[in-house]
Amino acid sequence: MLGLMQNWPLTVDKILDHANRWYSGREVVSRSVEGPIVRTNYADIHNRAKRLSNALLGMGIKTGDRVATLAWNTGRHIEAWYGIMGIGAVCHTLNPRLFPEQLVYIINHAEDRIIFTDLTFLPVLEGIIDQCPTVEHIVVLTDESELKNVTLRCKGKPCLAMESLIDQHHAEVVWGGFDENTAAGLCYTSGTTGNPKGVLYSHRSNYLHTLVGLQTDVLGLSARDVILPVVPMFHANAWGIAFAAPAVGSKLVMPGSKMDGQSIFELLETEGVTFSAAVPTVWQMLLQHLQSTNSKLTTLKRVVIGGSACPEAIIRAFGDDYGVDVTHAWGMTETSPLGTISRPTADVEALGPDEVIPFKLKQGRAPVGIELKLTNDEGRELPHDGTTFGRLKIRGATIASAYFKQEGGNILDEEGFFDTGDVSTIDQYGFMQITDRAKDVIKSGGEWISSIEIENIAAGHPKSALAAVIGIAHPKWDERPLLLVKLREGQTSTKEEYLAYLEGKIAKWWTPDDVVFVDDIPLGATGKIDKKILRQQFESYRLPTA
């Protein structure tokens, strides 16, 4: 027997329809690529997205066609998103931080027909567009006057101004009407090993992910919030915020291309931001700006940090000095991306403020709709005791079941779990903690050393700008840790100072065999430390203990 409830397809166009109907005047503020602050609202975004849908239909775009965006976080980018998805086309977000050859591979693999881009990225496209035969048009997120000031060499591909396209069409267009399992978005992994792989989100998965994110113990957004998503829209749907904010009528503040500490602080204060989300490096820059200028945060209450592990120093500084609650989150492209979030349970909160900090440093617990397990290399499930390391596996309605075009073959185990590639522990309260990527864990004398845990502590040293730990070959122990430190400008330090700082904070046998001070630590396309490059740079490095 089936239930007698309405069949109401969960398609993301309904989210913007809802925002238009009930929160039409709620502001969306953008720092435009051209410079000025631009103010609009959900009603205007809804109208312009529908007109853009008509433009796409006029250009021959059909259900399932891939339309790419190469753009910063702005109101225009949101209009492109909903304009593409509303008619059943697939919005493919391109990451501008990828190497040109990776962009070429991704565009061709996705068979993108149109690319929406900002003025910033026209030089990138001009350098690769002749290698992308499926691309028919480039639409620049600007008006005709700005386009005239740009020398375009797009090698036969028509370059159109988004404003001209919108002006030529009306807003009478049918959104939705297709199956909720229709593809809505396409995002490629950062490709640290082999070619990037495409994760194909459905309307249903994005809609359910929105509902997961809105839970109080996840992002907990409301109509009273003013949200600054510093996390880019090309990073797994800006962690779902571009769907969640209009779903509840939150004011959106879009940072555009300026994400330095001073620019972020300016938007936080002038727009009254209450909630923000970004990777740790952004919050490190903001913290340095606050400290150097003796500034205060007057409206910001909550921050979600993800993308890589957050140092304790950042969590404590924002909480103790600025009254901002920092919540750690974990996810990946394949998880839409929210997988876990480190909000305390009643039992954990009862332990007291200082006792809660170790839990805030963990990646957190799974919300409803997400299932986790730990296994060994043979697939045997491991206990949740907070100390046993295992391969982290995940399943749920917002988790990938395969890669686009079946790249990589079957990616699920016999129970339908996806192997994240992370090595983790899960404690008795359900809090998961990433100890390393499987390829980054340091194997020393048959035991595992967490490079991430050492990095987080070293990054908390007051002289540190960035810290990284990699495994170096050792004749006796197989591998031993090497600590690499990029110091803050004007600082000097010694190996002994850093080893003394680590003493008592990690197991003695985890202590790095050497400390090297470097001019820079490379970051990958998603803002994480690129250990593949570091391992190449230090491939022939000889430890003093060897």
Q: What is the pLDDT of residues 104-153, one digit of tens each?
A: 999 999 999 999 999 999 999 989 999 999 999 999 999 988 887 665 55
The whole-chain average pLDDT of the chain stands at: 93
Contacts of the segment 537-541: beta carbons below 8 A, 24+ positions apart: 538/470, 538/472, 538/482, 538/484, 541/472, 541/482, 541/516
Can you give the pLDDT at residue 150? 67
Question: Which of 82-86, 267-271, 385-389 is predicted least confidently?
Answer: 385-389
H or E stretch including 214? none
Summarize the confidence of residues 255-264 as an average pLDDT.
95
User: What CA–CA distance (Å, rounded) separates 493 from 491?
Assistant: 7
Can you give the pLDDT at residue 152? 56
Torsion, Cα 523 525 530 534, to 10 degrees, reads -80
Report how far Cα 246 is from the mean position of its chain's Cα atoms.
19
Residue located via tokens 């591979």: 105
pTM for the model stands at 0.87
User: What CA–CA distance (Å, rounded) separates 467 from 454?
Assistant: 9
**Is-cis flag, bond preceding 337, omega within 30?**
yes
Cα–Cα nearest to 91, from 158, 197, 8, 184: 184
- pLDDT tens readout for residues 439-486: 788 888 767 788 888 998 999 999 999 999 999 999 888 899 999 999
Question: Which of 152-156, 158-162, 489-493 is predicted least confidently?
Answer: 152-156
Summarize the confidence of residues 382-400 as an average pLDDT.
96
Would you please indicate which residues are annotated as catalytic (active-site) residues? Answer: 189, 334, 443, 448
Can you give the pLDDT at residue 524? 76
Can you give the pLDDT at residue 450? 84
- Is the pLDDT at 380 greater than 90? The verdict is yes
Q: How far apart are the first and last CA of the chain?
A: 70
List helix spans (H) across 129-233: 144-148, 162-167, 203-213
Half-sphere exposure (CA, 13 Å, Cβ side) for 451?
A: 27
Q: Which domains does the chain have, with CATH numbers?
A: 13-25+40-201 (3.40.50.12780), 442-537 (3.30.300.30)
